[in-house]
Chain A
Amino acid sequence: MSETGIRPDVGTETGTETDGEVGGDREQFTGTDFERVEDHRILTGRAEYVHDITPENCRHMALLRSMHAHAEIESIDTSAADEHPDCDLVLTGEDVAEQYYPMPCGLAAFEEPPLAVEKVRYAGEPVALIVASDRYVAEDVLEGISVSYETLDAVTDPVAARENETLIHESVGTNVPDGERFDFGDVEDAFEDADHVVEGEYSWGRISGVPLETAGVVATYDPKRDAFDIDCNIQLHTLVDDTVYETLGYPPEKVSLNVPPDVGGSFGTKIAIHRYCCLAAMASQQLEGIPVKFVEDRLENLQGGDMHSTQREYRVRLAFDDDGSVHGLDTWFVDDFGAWPRYPVNQALKPLSVLTGAYDIEDVRYDYEIALTNKTSQTAYRGFGVPPHLYVLEMAMDKAARTLDMDPTEFRLLNMIGPEQMPYRLPSHNVYDSGDFPAALEYIRDHVEDEERAEGGLLDPAVVEEKREEGKYRGVSCTLHIEPGVSGSDWTDRQRSDRDALEAREREEVDELPEHLRGEISRDGTVRALLATDSSGQGHQTIVTQMLADELEVLPSEIEVEYLDSVAAPTEYGSAASRMAVMVSGAATGLGEQLRENCCELAAETWGVGRDAVTYREGGVERLDGGSGGDANSDDDDSGNGGGGDGDESDDRLSLADLADLDTAGGRAHERFTRASYDYEHPATALEEFDEALTGKFPVYPTAAFAANAPIIEVDAATGEVEILKFYSLRDCGTQLNPTIVEGQAHGGIAQGVGAALLEEFDYTDSGQPQAVTLFDYLLPSIDTVPEMDIHHSETPSPFTETGAKGTGEGGMIDAPASIASSLNAALAPLGVHVDRIPATANRLRNRIRDAEAENS
């Protein structure tokens, strides 16, 4: 577990600039390994996750789920459940449809019922709900519902689904409700003129986040207000709240989604738990306001918990010349979205933001089709559709290097975007902000050469040879990947946009969501900040605490960070798409500035002097003229109470507590200086570089964090078993606000990437039965399967963001699978085996090795 911690580019100015008048010895917190403020309550068991919330008279909901993948519902007999003495409520799909609305989907043609109506489309789809005194009893009562089904043929192969032999949605008339082909440059010519073209077919298995905490809801309907209060662990509670209030048939202000400060992981998946919020809210309304709680159990979560993510089948071509220069890339894929095209349909588009990865390729085709099948619907997962794209790109690069018999690293360097090309505009219009990609790749290559190729290293040629005689194949590949950060919001409805209107769109019509942050100075001098976004372990309270401490020049212990519910907060994007480091740090900087300025104005007014005569310093405002001659009451302020307070106004310093006192004592209810809010605009909105992407609704991700990886891998040819001996990575996410948190994000992301690359998959039988319904089947990486990581850092600040930070929440999951697959190709090169399917499970690799051995003999 050595951590060399090289930080080649770390400058001294990692702290936030404040007033420029700060004494040199004040401790700075931003940019340091400031310890998290969330930990104490979690460690002592005092955190409150939604599972822990149980109001006194609370009732519990259980769901009856379909055991069939595809079937007509002939009839539902609930009489035995109705008659059960402990049953409070039974609702079927038809009951719900009578009074409520369908749930909005990602494509306009679809409206998903919260409980199945007329037919079921995947195993695990909820059919009826029960409410009873506790969950044990509720599950007893479920047995009193009997459903009669007429089964239909199941569609499970997304490529075959496109034939439309069996339709998932008859009314839509096709299993391919969305798709688009983008040609950037002259793709046909590029492929015709190239010396070589390689082609490959690749699969990315159904993989997802599987947070340890499942979905949970406690919903309470208030008959007096005719409104709902819903505690839940939904992700993006101010953005996706429409999926709840529209379904209930209420305006947004009547449906408050409240996410507790602690959520047990989400990784994108909990964006889609709205069904549970809706059903529990409906049940509470039917029970005239009795709170109803639902906690998804793990079997439900894995089988039909709206939690699976991307599954794709690819065909890829790469065009290149004898000299190694790549000219054309052509990717076509089918994305298996399961039964319903949920909100994250734009996962199919996000790879456009990193279309050619770290390579300079001019002519590119990107062609996708969304296919519907009888599987659980797709939700978001860390990386949002990018990991499969980078995986197939690197597989094609490996194949091309092998065709040319070129060193794969040299081949990659030859085609890499150079630092002189920054900011670099992709053919698909997104812009990489900064970075020296070739230097990073060379750094990690040289480091591995020095450390591991030398005598006694993991790749010491003598050791590699010795191992090979034992049937163990070692290898490494060095690859560099971009993590597109800070998604814009405007492009995300491209698939629901009218094409003609899109063509004619003006730049002024682009509407981005800013990040909202509020702050309030209390009369005891402490500062309360309110986040408009939810968190699930990323440490947002810590980041805001350390930044505001620096901004306001107070101790972090003087700052409290809380959360706003969906009614109190404006609609904003929230924590997804590697946004928060940039957005919340930008907002904290702006809020700090605003509060300092407000304090100065209030002090100047109080002292009856000009704004220039005061300065903010060390958690208070000081008078620069040193005198006490100003007449507070002669101020021209129309409040008439400018000199309010306790008589300290003749002193030459006002603390935050004094200022809060003055502000509240003066009866300034409508003009408070010590309360402020700030909206940090999305960084792309002010940049001409993004005009084309923004106007045309192409994915907009203005920060390009990057990682050069080198996982050293050993494959046992007899069993197909893979061991990652060590995972080297040089990572750069611009200015690091908290290097400890940055490193933690890298560790966790890489571990999820290891799981995706080697272990995890939601497989289905041909009849649509899910094969991974326990954690014995869906294999999460444990401490003995995650490799030792040796993480290095560099810092190339983003020129586009307020603090120089780049998004960094998704990186490891985005880059590790491609890196591991490429290292597998390197290790298995002597056998001629090329990875064509993720996850590369032991069984699959063993089959490939067996086939290769048969071919070679």
Chain B
Amino acid sequence: MSTDATDPSTEQPTREISLTINGEDVVADVEPRLKLSDFLRDRRGLYGLRIGCEHGVCGACTVSMDDRIVKSCLVYAVQADRSDLVTVEGLADEGDLHPIQRAYHEDHALQCGFCTSGFVMATRELLAETPDPSDEAIEKGLADNICRCTGYQNIYKAVRRAADYTQARADEEGRMGERDQEDDA
């Protein structure tokens, strides 16, 4: 038995990265072996992404990187250099729920919630690409995320509801845009 509580003394190589996280510019020194998931959670305090498997199956760590979702456990932080990251914390305005989050809540599409950030991020990309997804499109879009609690039934519902909310918001913004144009005219 031995005890010796000290700070790490072994020099580990580090590299500087600069990136945008939820709209904020960030510069950091990281070890090349540091996973993006660990960087975001442990160094940036973004605990909304969860670590479920660390081998790219469960999808709980899904974040958006340059408008494409990635499993952050399969990306090293150094690979995110000069990228634009969005995590679940970047979706909602203070105190409000993003339409996708609202839909997951209203349709009871979460129980323990550990997978939910990943599903919300995957749904966000799905709806950006397919605003009115069929059941098949939902399956394809969310097949890389595992939920162990809900049996997925309410996730279909939530995605459809989120699509409606997103569409309604787009319509409203469109109308406001038209009105602005009229005002300008």
Q: What residues of chain A have their CB less than 8 Å away from a CB belonging to chain B?
A: 1, 35-36, 38-40, 42-49, 51-52, 54, 59, 78, 82, 84-92, 95, 132-134, 136-137, 209-214, 262-265, 267, 286-288, 290, 295, 297-299, 536-539, 740-741, 743-744, 746-752, 774-776, 780-784, 786, 788-789, 812
- List chain A residues, Cβ under 8 A from B140: 784
Known A133-B7, A748-B148, A783-B155: A44·B48 in contact at CB below 8 Å = yes
A214 proximity list for chain B (CB < 8 A): 52
Once A85-B10, A297-B54 are accepted as A-B contacts, the answer to whether A740 and B108 lie under 8 Å apart by CB is yes
Enumerate the 4 nearest inter-chain pairs by beta-carbon distance, A residue then B residue, closest first.
A45-B48, A537-B112, A264-B114, A751-B151
Contact partner, A39, options B33, B48, B113, Cβ 8 Å: B113
Q: Is B97 an interface residue (CB 8 A)?
A: yes
In the complex, per-residue mask of B98-129: 1 if CB is within 8 Å of any chain A CB, else 0: 00010011101011111111001000000000
Further 20 A-B residue pairs, CB within 8 A, beyond A748-B151, A789-B153: A1-B135, A1-B153, A36-B105, A43-B92, A43-B120, A45-B49, A49-B50, A51-B50, A86-B10, A87-B4, A89-B2, A212-B52, A212-B60, A214-B52, A286-B1, A750-B151, A775-B57, A780-B58, A784-B140, A789-B151
Whether, in the assembled complex, B76 has its beta carbon less than 8 Å from a beta carbon of chain A, the answer is no
Residues of B within 8 A of A85 (CB): 6, 8-10
Query: How far is the CB of A52 from the nearest CB of chain B, in Å?
Result: 4
Interface size on B, residues (CB 8 A): 66
Q: Are B57 and A748 in contact (CB under 8 A)?
A: no
- A453 nearest CB across to chain B (Å): 24
Is B178 among interface residues, defined by CB-CB distance under 8 A? no
Asked if A39 and B105 make an inter-chain contact with CB atoms under 8 angstroms apart, the answer reads yes
Given A45-B87, A45-B88, A784-B143, are A774 and B153 also a contact pair (CB < 8 Å)?
no
Please report which residues of chain B, range 62-121, place their CB below 8 angstroms from some CB of chain A when the two chains form the complex.
Answer: 87-89, 92, 97, 101, 104-106, 108, 110-117, 120
B165 located at the interface, meaning its Cβ lies under 8 Å from any Cβ of chain A in the complex:
no
- Interface of A (DSSP majority class): loop
Can you spell out 10 A-B residue pairs with CB atoms less than 8 angstroms apart? A35-B105, A43-B110, A45-B46, A45-B47, A85-B9, A212-B58, A212-B146, A262-B113, A264-B50, A298-B55
A47–B113 CB distance below 8 A: yes
From B8, B48, B148, A212 is in contact (CB under 8 Å) with: B148
| Minimal beta-carbon separation of A93 from chain B (angstroms) | 11
Say yes or no: B55 contacts A137, CB within 8 Å. Answer: no
CA distance A38 to B112 in the complex (A): 9
B141-164 interface (Cβ within 8 A of A): 142-143, 145-157
Are A265 and B8 touching (Cβ within 8 A)? Answer: no
B46, B117, B150, B151 — most chain A CB neighbours (10 Å): B151
Q: Are A744 and B2 in contact (CB-based, < 8 A)?
A: no
Distance of A536 Cα from B112 Cα, bound (Å): 6
Beta-carbon contact of A212 and B156 below 8 Å: no
Whether the Cβ atoms of A42 and B151 lie closer than 8 Å is: no
How many Å from the CB of A485 to the closest CB on chain B? 19
Known: A36-B108, A86-B9, A88-B6. A537 touches B149 (CB 8 A): yes
- CB closest residue in chain A, given B49: A45
Contact B47–A52 (Cβ < 8 Å):
yes
**Set of chain B residues within 8 Å of A43, measured between Cβ atoms:** 88, 92, 97, 101, 104-105, 110, 113, 116, 120
- Chain A residue nearest to B51 (CB atoms) is A51
Interface residues of B in 23-61 (CB under 8 A from A): 31, 33-34, 41-42, 46-55, 57-58, 60
Q: Which residues of B contact A784 (CB under 8 A)?
A: 139-140, 143
The CA of A91 and the CA of B115, in the complex, are separated in Å by 34
- Checking B2, B5, B58, B106 against A35 with a beta-carbon cut-off of 8 angstroms, the contacting residue is B106
Cβ contact within 8 Å between A775 and B116: no
Residues of chain A contacted by B51 (CB below 8 angstroms): 51, 295
- Cross-chain contact of A90 among B1, B152, B154, B155 (Cβ < 8 A): B1
Within 8 Å of chain A (Cβ to Cβ): is B21? no
Name the distance in Å between B143's Cβ and chain A's nearest Cβ: 5
**CA gap between A784 and B140 in the complex, in Å:** 8
**Given contact pairs A537-B113, A775-B55, A776-B55, A1 touches B157 in the complex (Cβ within 8 A):** yes
> Once the chains bind, are B148 and A210 in contact (CB under 8 Å)?
yes
How far in angstroms is the closest Cβ of chain A from B109? 9
Min C-beta distance of A57 to chain B, whole Å: 9
Q: A90-B1, A751-B152 are in contact. Are A212 and B112 (CB under 8 A)?
A: yes
| Closest B residue, CB atoms, query A778 | B57
In the bound complex, what is the Cα–Cα distance between A36 and B116 (angstroms)?
15
Given A36-B108, A783-B155, check contact A88 B4 (CB 8 Å): yes
B52, B104, B112, B116: which contacts A263 (Cβ < 8 A)? B112
Please indicate the chain A residues that have their CB under 8 angstroms from the CB of B104 in the complex: 39, 43
Instruction: Select which of B2, B112, B154 is within 8 A of A747 by beta carbon.
Output: B154
Interface centre among A43, A750, A780, by most chain B C-beta atoms within 10 angstroms, is: A43
Question: Which residues of chain B come closer than 8 Å to A744, judged between CB atoms?
Answer: 108, 111, 149-150, 154
Contact A44 B114 (CB under 8 A): no
Question: Are B34 and A136 neighbours in the complex by a CB distance under 8 Å?
Answer: yes
B57 touches A776 (CB 8 A): yes
Nearest chain A residue, comparing its CB with the CB of B90: A45
B3 at interface, CB cutoff 8 A: yes
A744 to B157, CA, bound (A): 12
Binary per-residue interface labels of chain B (8-20) against chain A in the complex, 1 for a CB within 8 Å, 0 otherwise: 1110000000000
B123, chain A: closest CB distance, angstroms: 11
CA distance A740 to B154 in the complex (A): 10
Bound form: Cα–Cα A38–B114 in Å: 12
Q: Is the CB of A298 within 8 A of B52?
A: yes
